[in-house]
Amino acid sequence: MKQELQEILEYFWDKWYRSPCPYTLEIRRIDRGYHKPAKRLIVIPEWAIENIYFAYSYIIHETCHIRQGHYHDKNFKQQETKMLKEFGLAPIYSRAYVKELRNSNGQVLWKRGYY
């Protein structure tokens, strides 16, 4: 799973910057994920990889911070939604974070609190 998520990170980096991705991904037993630009590191919590669709969403969210910055504003959500769409995922948001993921047919693939 770690390699698959690292490849998603590298895919977007290459798409945006056309250069090798300097970031590495770590999966740890923590409550919340984060990204540290100075260390070129993205960390996602172990619990986030229990559902493949949510794991994709999580790495895409953290990768989006590289391009869009820290704030979860309208531009951030638009960029994140576009990125998710490339993987066949349609997000439904509650404020800043995805609360549900659907496929192109509207089928719920992940919903906070249920998967």
d(CA 30, CA 85): 28
Q: Tell me, what's the pLDDT at 115?
A: 56
pLDDT attached to residue 113:
80
Domain ranges within the chain, ordered by starting residue: 2-111
pLDDT at 27: 97
The pLDDT profile of the chain, 115 residues, written as one tens digit per residue, is 999 999 999 999 999 999 999 999 999 999 999 999 999 999 999 999 999 999 999 999 999 999 888 888 999 999 999 999 999 999 999 888 899 999 989 999 999 887 5
Q: What's the rounded Cα separation, in Å, for the pair 65 and 37?
A: 10
8 A C-beta contact, residue 2 and residue 27: yes
Both structure tokens of 88 = 């066949």
Q: Model pTM? A: 0.90
Q: What is the edge-to-edge ordering of all strands in the sheet holding 108-111?
A: 90-94, 97-102, 108-111
The architecture of the domain spanning 2-111 is 2-Layer Sandwich (3.30)
Whole-number Cα distances in Å, 52 to 45, 56, 69: 13, 6, 25
